[in-house]
Amino acid sequence: MPESIDIHKFLELRNKLPVLDTRSEGEYTHAHVAGAINLPLLNNQEREKVGTCYKQKGREEAVLLGFDLVGSKFGDYIRKAKEIAHSEIIVYCWRGGMRSNIMAWLLEKSGLKVYLLEGGYKTFRHWALNEFEQPFKLIVLGGKTGSGKTDVLHEMKKAGEQLIDLEGLAHHRGSAFGALGQPAQPTSEQFENNLALEFLKIDRKKTLWLENESSKIGGVKIPDGIYNQMRANTVVEIEVPLEKRIENIARVYAGFPKEKLAEATKRIEKKLGNKNMNDGISYLNENDFYNWIKILLDYYDKAYTFSKSQRAPGTVLSVSITSENHSEIAAAVISFAKQQVASP
């Protein structure tokens, strides 16, 4: 008989065993447990047919139709599952109902040891959203656009600090230009799922570093529970000279096609003003990245200053940076935080 497991056992076993998501392709694509493999009991079209049947003829007819649709595919399900699993496997559906139970029964009959997540994906989502309401010992790394915060954070990780790369998870660098060179963004729900599993790795007795962000990174929203903590906790702000920031931005973006950069510049016309937008695009066309970036920073720096002004007094601590070496900057930030930041 398949073994029913709670969310805590599931989170432990998912690192050791393959996980099957038996929901439809559409449900899976929208959001799933990271690492789970989709093996739909009912595909998109079949699920729609069963749903229509349920509404028109009732549960009994819908169940019979479901078995008619999937019965001929049992052999395929077993073969695919055994390509994934050697002897044990975890199965879930939307709420631990018929789809996962049928798949679990079938795979157990084929000789696999099957674990069934109680409450299915719905239980996982409840756990994930609850994670964001838990307090963490946060310090936020701040700094104006082009300060190299992401690079510094990764050097801090090498030095033993805990961090979560929000922009990496969101596949976006957090500005109008942030999608360039990045994979497609996940849905906000998928971002939340992935983020919750990152928080699961964190030692809550130790400081966690996050990069200062707006409430949205591209099209992905940071969960309110985390964003509220980011806004309430201390910011260590690195102060990097304008010329160095322009150099950093040029290094990241100057290699992209100018038409893509112009498109992104046009998207923030209302924020830049029509004249600045047109001047910026003219500079782009002349390969004058310096003056193009300078126009952009006039807007982004004002936005950063305003956001900073909305924080509680005394929660933003600035450290001047003289080195251009990210590992040296990381060491300076760590040392500064240990001396200046009270334990969260």
Tell me, rounded to whole angstroms, the distance of Cα 300 from its chain centroid.
Answer: 23
Q: Is the pTM of this model over 0.85?
A: yes
Higher-scoring residue by pLDDT: 64, 185: 185
- Is 80 exceeded by the pLDDT of residue 69? no
93 is catalytic: yes
Terminal-residue alpha carbon distance, the chain: 48
- Is 90 exceeded by the pLDDT of residue 81? yes
241-274: pLDDT as tens digits: 999 999 999 999 999 999 999 999 999 999 999 9
The closest of 166, 314, 154 to 237, measured between CA atoms, is 314
Tokens linked to 252: 């990241």
Phi first, then psi: give them for residue 319, nearest 5 degrees: -130, 125
Phi first, then psi: give them for residue 335, nearest 5 degrees: -65, -45
Q: What average pLDDT does the segment 43-51 reach? A: 78
Q: Which amino acid is it at 107?
A: L
Q: Check: CB of residue 149 under 8 Å from CB of residue 238.
A: yes
Domains of the chain, each with CATH number or no CATH: 3-129 (3.40.250.10), 134-340 (3.40.50)
Place of tokens 């157990």: 108
Q: Which pLDDT value is given to residue 343? A: 61
Q: Which amino acid is it at 14?
A: R
Number of H helices, E strands in the chain: 17, 12
- Average pLDDT along the chain: 93
Q: Please tell me whether residue 40 adopts helix, strand or coil conformation.
A: coil
pLDDT confidence of 65, banded at 50, 70, 90?
confident
Catalytic residue among 17, 93, 164, 170: 93
Tokens linked to 299: 């807007």
Report the C-alpha gap between 321 and 244 in whole angstroms. Answer: 11
- Is 60 exceeded by the pLDDT of residue 235? yes
How many beta carbons lie within 10 A of that of residue 201, not counting itself?
8
- Is 80 exceeded by the pLDDT of residue 326? yes
Name 141's bridge partners.
211, 236
Report the C-alpha gap between 39 and 322 in whole angstroms. Answer: 54
Q: Which amino acid is it at 272?
A: L
- Is 60 exceeded by the pLDDT of residue 133? yes
Report the C-alpha gap between 262 and 305 in whole angstroms. Answer: 25
139-198: pLDDT as tens digits: 999 999 999 999 999 999 999 999 999 999 999 999 999 999 999 999 999 999 999 999
- Is 60 exceeded by the pLDDT of residue 107? yes
Q: What average pLDDT does the segment 56-84 reach? A: 82
Q: Which pLDDT value is given to residue 344? A: 55
What percentage of the chain carries pLDDT values higher than 70?
Answer: 99
Strands 220-221, 216-217: pairing is antiparallel
Contacts of 242 (CB under 8 A, 6+ apart): 297
Q: What average pLDDT does the segment 29-55 reach? A: 87
How does DSSP assign 63-107, residue by residue?
A: HHHHHHHHGGGHHHHHHHHHHH-SSEEEEE-SSSSHHHHHHHHHH
Q: What average pLDDT does the segment 219-229 reach? A: 97
